[in-house]
A = this chain, B = another copy of it.
Amino acid sequence: MPGRRRREGIPCRPRWKRGLRLVLRPSLLLMLAEHDSHGYELMEQLTTLGFDNECLDSSVIYRDLRDMEEMGFIRSFWDEEDSKGPKRRVYQIKEQGWERLEDWLEGLDQLREQITDLSARYQKLKGVKGKS
C-alpha cells in the first residue's frame, strides 16, 4: 500500500538528511547527464552516490525532478516502449542543466574545502589539548 521506498517507523539519524539533500539535486542531475532515466531508477541508483535508500522518501526525488524541470534544467516525457508495469516519466538533461550542474559542483567544491579547513582546525585543536 505505501507505494514508497522507506522502512517505516525508523527516524534515520535526525538531522543529517538535511546535509544529504544538498547533494541530492546535483546527484540526480549528474545521473541524468550520464543517461536519460526515470524517477524510480534514479532513486535506486542513488546508493552508488552514497545515499541511503532507507532514509530517502521517494516523494522527495519526484519532487526535486519536477522542480528541476520547472527550472528548465531537464525535460521529461512518458516512456513510449511498453516496459511492463506502470508508465514511466523519463527525464533528460538540457543544455541549461549542464551549466547548472557545473555551477552546483563548483559550489559543492567550495563547501568541501570549507569542511576540510574546519576539520583541520579541529584536529589541530585536539593536538594542543592533548599535549597540555
* With contact pairs A30-B122, A30-B125, A34-B125 given, residues A116 and B111 touching in the complex (Cβ less than 8 Å): no
DSSP class of A's interface residues: helix, strand, loop or mixed?
Answer: helix
Using Cβ atoms and an 8 Å threshold, which residues of chain B touch A105?
A: 118-119, 122
CB-based contact A111/B18 at 8 Å: no
CB-based contact A20/B111 at 8 Å: yes
CB-based contact A114/B49 at 8 Å: yes
CB-based contact B119/A33 at 8 Å: no
The interface-forming segment of A21-29, A54-62, A82-90 is A21-29
| C-alpha spacing A125/B49, complex, angstroms | 15
| C-alpha spacing A19/B27, complex, angstroms | 15
Within 8 A of B (CB), among A79-132: 101, 105, 107-119, 121-122, 125
Tally of contact residues, A, Cβ under 8 A: 31
Q: Does A77 contact B (CB under 8 A)?
A: no
CB-based contact A23/B114 at 8 Å: yes
| C-alpha spacing A116/B19, complex, angstroms | 15
CB-based contact B112/A23 at 8 Å: no
* With contact pairs A34-B125, A112-B112, A125-B34 given, residues A118 and B20 touching in the complex (Cβ less than 8 Å): no
Q: Does A3 contact B (CB under 8 A)?
A: no
